[in-house]
Structure 1
Amino acid sequence: MQSEFNFFQHWYPLSPIEDLDPQQPTAIALLGMQLVIWKPPSSDTYRIFADRCPHRLAPLSEGRIDEKTGNLMCSYHGWQFDEDGSCQHIPQLEDPKQLAKNQRRYCAQIFPSREVQDLLWVWADLDSPDLAESTPLPLSPYVDASKGFVWSSFVRDLEYDWQTLVENIVDPNHVAFAHHGVQGNRDKSRTAEIEVVSSTPNRIEARTQTGMNSTIAIDFPNHIEYTIFFGTEGKQVGLVTYCIPVAPGKSRLVAQFPRNFAKTLNRVIPRWWEHVQTRNLVLDGDMILLHQQERFLQERQQQESWKSAYTLLPRTDKLVVEFRKWFDRYCNGQLPWREVGIVSPPILPIAENRRTILDRDRQHTQHCSSCRNALKQVQRWQRVGGVYFIITISVTALMPDAARSRWGWILMGTALLGLGIAAGLKYWLEPKFFFVDYVHARKK
């Protein structure tokens, strides 16, 4: 049965712009399609191509940006493409006239793209650029400095499917338990009763009350936003999330966190520190739960519907139920993997290695410019502390006895301090960029 909902004819944010490297191509996946992001030196904006050279289908993301021409060069045979996807040079072609004559065959496939609200967006359908032009982006009204808001951004790849990610985000009642000690407290949890206000083929709206009035809106296929009002001074905080379907059992979360108070904290607290101390911990708290939950549900759905596989509560699971009904009604309970040639196995395996499921480096650090740069500095200062320790100990040992008795203790103290800083960076801070095992039983 043909799905009523077209996942491809929509705008998707791929990455915060600040996390992209303008000096080299970046590979990224969306809806089972491999894409490449790159920035022509003569342009202020990025381009998004299908990540395959038309010659022999080599990945353009393994290419380079040519210093002389500013074109994207395929590293396999040196074909070059300009910012519009037109092939500008084929080293193996003896007659340049053949290039102009066969340009349609030689060009790269370019996707419509935009840069709005500090995010790079792509239209996922190559064949409908006119529709892309007339379709508004699913933007948050609160990612807007003119309205008094500040915000930060975050991106991470996840080891579970798009539908599991959506279902999790629209369930506020898991926060106090799955994120105990990070964003909630299991001993002080307050049940959020959900009221579904409206449900259409493109949008679901709900309200919830847990001491603070909040609204939840789902703009399909990717935009989910919480708006929370509290106090009498107009204080407002938002959770703006974009749920990106990557591949079977894989998704990506692009999130923004706007607020109209405590604005100085955005300048004082480094972005990378917020990521390693809070944002990654929140997703770690969900990751293994959802990775395994998804596989268990797949097993049960071989024989029964989610309606009987789950034991749902009428007051608190209303939005989960509404989303699942929407997914069944308009998408036949399936993502469009077959449309891009992906035939996924009936049940994806559960990863046995916790490091694979909670791999912060692969899922986040490699994508985040702030964390990449912070990690380089952490590793640099480790070396500085170690070298300082060795040099200081050596100098102290070579000093005359009189000088050593006077200055030796001070130098030894600073040497040990340098060694302690290096050890702290190595064994406490550096692992936070790679892997932190999240064990709920140890969260007191």
Structure 2
Amino acid sequence: MRTEFNFFQNWYPLSPVEDLNPEQPTPVKLLGINLVIWKPKNSPNYQVFLDECPHRLAPLSEGRVDEKTGNLMCSYHGWEFDENGICTSIPQAEKPEIVSKNKDNFCVRTFPTQEVNDLLWVWADPNSTEQAANTPLPLSPQIDASKGFVWSSYVRDLEYDWQTLVENIADPSHVPFAHHGVQGNREKGKPIPLKTIRSQADIIEAKYEGFLKTKITFEPPCRLEYEIEFGTDGKQVGLVTYCVPVSPGQSRIVALFTRNFAQRLNKIIPRWWEHVKTRNLVLDGDMIFLHQQERFLQQKQKTQSWKTAYKLPTEADRLVIEFRKWFDQYSGGKLPWEQVGISQPDVLPTNKTRREILDRYQQHTQHCSSCRRALKAVQRWQIGLLVLSAIAISTAAILPDFWRLRVGLPLVITALIGLGIYALLKFWLEPKFYFVDYVHAEKK
């Protein structure tokens, strides 16, 4: 008997905690709902509210955390709300009773939250707080420091839907081709004998064994992870992803990269360097064609189902098939956009440019504290290098002949080195925080 899956009565990670700014509110969208993340000044924990001031519906994410009260202030008229969403101040109120007698009517809708595994989690249904308290988080057994695991985090907004994201991660056979030269080699593409361990309402598991033993787990609606073992010495790496539905045609990936060896590497390699060198590049590698692929599928689904629109003849497609069957059985093959008043078109528009689809700054850099700091440092270094080069050249030019022969050449060389480093930062590194076009035909 079919049981309807409730996407709202589940826990979702919104962001790594380290990427949140405790000094100002952060807007985020989940299942079509506009939310605001903020941290009360005297509280150790972040709160998540509906991003609407009850006064005139201005976005609270454009507000501020008041220095005196520590409450969230709406920047439109100055209404303030405490960590429980209760209105504490209305500057325009003629009498204090206006505030005290209308606490229930003037409050902001709040969502249950938890901070676990360095992630901020939110329960997407504010009307079922008791159920939220009794529902465990979809945690991964690989995120366990007591067992020697270390991990790094990554978040990015994606220009394709939640089901496309789940489907893509559940498909290991695309890696040698979509990520050639980054995480794979197209010359090594081969059959992947995926075997389904179990497929039921609350979990889907599959595995395959070769040089590496790999287990893939999907715990609806968001946890999808790989557990990869090396030989017999217990070494293990993992990819723990949380696939977050944002709005029609958009999703968010919150990823944790785990391992139980070489623990010190996390302290040696800067987090931002991993993001610009590898993590962003991997997502760029399939963003363009997934953005288009889901629109092709939507077009075909006007007259047929995915079962005939797709051709899935190999065992490597097994997990995609199991996910699609789950999605059909428990969610009718669609997300609950209509429950939040969103009307999804039969086919999403296709008017975005490559720069918009692969916009690293909007999708990642602005959300990532490590990349934001690194970008500011890169820009400051550029200014410093230009100033240094200008001073060195100017000094060499005004030196007396006697000193010019002895000091002038080193100064010019210093200026040239400074300009070379400036060019490297300006034209090679800085663009990696904004946009890098990804053309598969050019990947040799």
TM bracket, shorter-chain basis: over 0.9
Equivalent in the alignment of 2:432: 432
Larger deviation: 205-214 or 270-279?
Answer: 205-214
Q: Partners in 2 of 1:81 and 1:378 — Cα distance?
A: 38
* Aligned length in residues: 443
Question: Unpaired segments of 5 or more residues in structure 1?
Answer: none
Structure 1's 288 and 4: CA in aligned 2 closer, same or farther, altered over 3 A?
A: same
Q: Partners in 1 of 2:12 and 2:166 — Cα distance?
A: 15
The one-letter amino acid of 2:136's match is P
Equivalent in the alignment of 1:180: 180
The one-letter amino acid of 1:365's match is T
Q: Partners in 2 of 1:262 and 1:435 — Cα distance?
A: 31
Q: Partners in 2 of 1:296 and 1:135 — Cα distance?
A: 37
- How far residue 97 of structure 1 moved from its aligned partner, in angstroms, is 1.2
- Once the two structures are aligned, what percentage of the paired residues are identical? 64
Which structure 2 residues correspond to residues 219-368 of structure 1 after superposition, within 5 A? 219-368=219-368
Equivalent in the alignment of 2:8: 8
The one-letter amino acid of 2:400's match is P
Summarize deviations over 1:52-90 as a string: whole Å, max 9, x none.
Answer: 001111000000011111110000110000111110000
Which runs of at least 4 in structure 1 moved beyond 6 Å after TM superposition?
none
- Residue aligned with 2:385, SS: helix
Equivalent in the alignment of 1:113: 113
Summarize deviations over 1:246-270 as a string: whole Å, max 9, x none.
Answer: 0000000000011011112111100
- How far residue 190 of structure 1 moved from its aligned partner, in angstroms, is 3.1
Q: Partners in 2 of 1:43 and 1:382 — Cα distance?
A: 38
- Residue aligned with 1:258, SS: strand
The one-letter amino acid of 2:108's match is A
Structure 1's 384 and 41: CA in aligned 2 closer, same or farther, altered over 3 A?
A: same
- Residue aligned with 1:105, SS: helix
Equivalent in the alignment of 2:374: 374
Equivalent in the alignment of 1:27: 27
Q: Are the aligned partners of 1:15 and 1:120 in contact in 2 as well (CA < 8 Å)? A: yes
Equivalent in the alignment of 1:199: 199
Larger deviation: 344-353 or 107-116?
Answer: 344-353
- How far residue 41 of structure 1 moved from its aligned partner, in angstroms, is 1.0
Summarize deviations over 1:326-369 as a string: whole Å, max 9, x none.
Answer: 10011000100000000011111124410000000000000000
Equivalent in the alignment of 1:58: 58
Structure 1's 431 and 3: CA in aligned 2 closer, same or farther, altered over 3 A?
A: farther
Which structure 2 residues correspond to residues 53-92 of structure 1 after superposition, within 5 A? 53-92=53-92
Which structure 2 residues correspond to residues 91-240 of structure 1 after superposition, within 5 A? 91-240=91-240
Q: Partners in 1 of 2:35 and 2:193 — Cα distance?
A: 41
- Residue aligned with 1:429, SS: helix
Summarize deviations over 1:185-215 as a string: whole Å, max 9, x none.
Answer: 0012232111111111111011122421110
- How far residue 92 of structure 1 moved from its aligned partner, in angstroms, is 1.1
Q: Partners in 1 of 2:228 and 2:144 — Cα distance?
A: 16
CA RMSD of aligned residues (A): 0.9
The one-letter amino acid of 1:413's match is I
Q: Partners in 2 of 1:407 and 1:232 — Cα distance?
A: 62
Summarize deviations over 1:260-303 as a string: whole Å, max 9, x none.
Answer: 11112111100000000000000000100100000000000001
Q: Are the aligned partners of 1:218 and 1:225 in contact in 2 as well (CA < 8 Å)? A: yes
- Residue aligned with 1:152, SS: strand
Q: Are the aligned partners of 1:191 and 1:210 in contact in 2 as well (CA < 8 Å)? A: no
Equivalent in the alignment of 2:394: 394
- Residue aligned with 1:58, SS: coil
Q: Partners in 1 of 2:89 and 2:99 — Cα distance?
A: 8
Q: Are the aligned partners of 1:51 and 1:61 in contact in 2 as well (CA < 8 Å)? A: yes
Equivalent in the alignment of 2:411: 411
- How far residue 403 of structure 1 moved from its aligned partner, in angstroms, is 0.4
Q: Are the aligned partners of 1:55 and 1:106 in contact in 2 as well (CA < 8 Å)? A: yes
- Residue aligned with 1:284, SS: helix
The one-letter amino acid of 1:45's match is N
Q: Partners in 1 of 2:209 and 2:169 — Cα distance?
A: 16
The one-letter amino acid of 1:114's match is Q
- Residue aligned with 1:199, SS: strand
Q: Partners in 2 of 1:161 and 1:211 — Cα distance?
A: 33
Q: Partners in 2 of 1:195 and 1:84 — Cα distance?
A: 47
Q: Partners in 2 of 1:43 and 1:292 — Cα distance?
A: 44
Equivalent in the alignment of 1:47: 47
Q: Are the aligned partners of 1:190 and 1:210 in contact in 2 as well (CA < 8 Å)? A: no
Larger deviation: 136-145 or 155-164?
Answer: 136-145
- How far residue 222 of structure 1 moved from its aligned partner, in angstroms, is 0.2
Q: Are the aligned partners of 1:360 and 1:433 in contact in 2 as well (CA < 8 Å)? A: yes
- How far residue 402 of structure 1 moved from its aligned partner, in angstroms, is 0.7
Q: TM-score, normalised by structure 1?
A: 0.99
Q: Partners in 1 of 2:431 and 2:345 — Cα distance?
A: 34
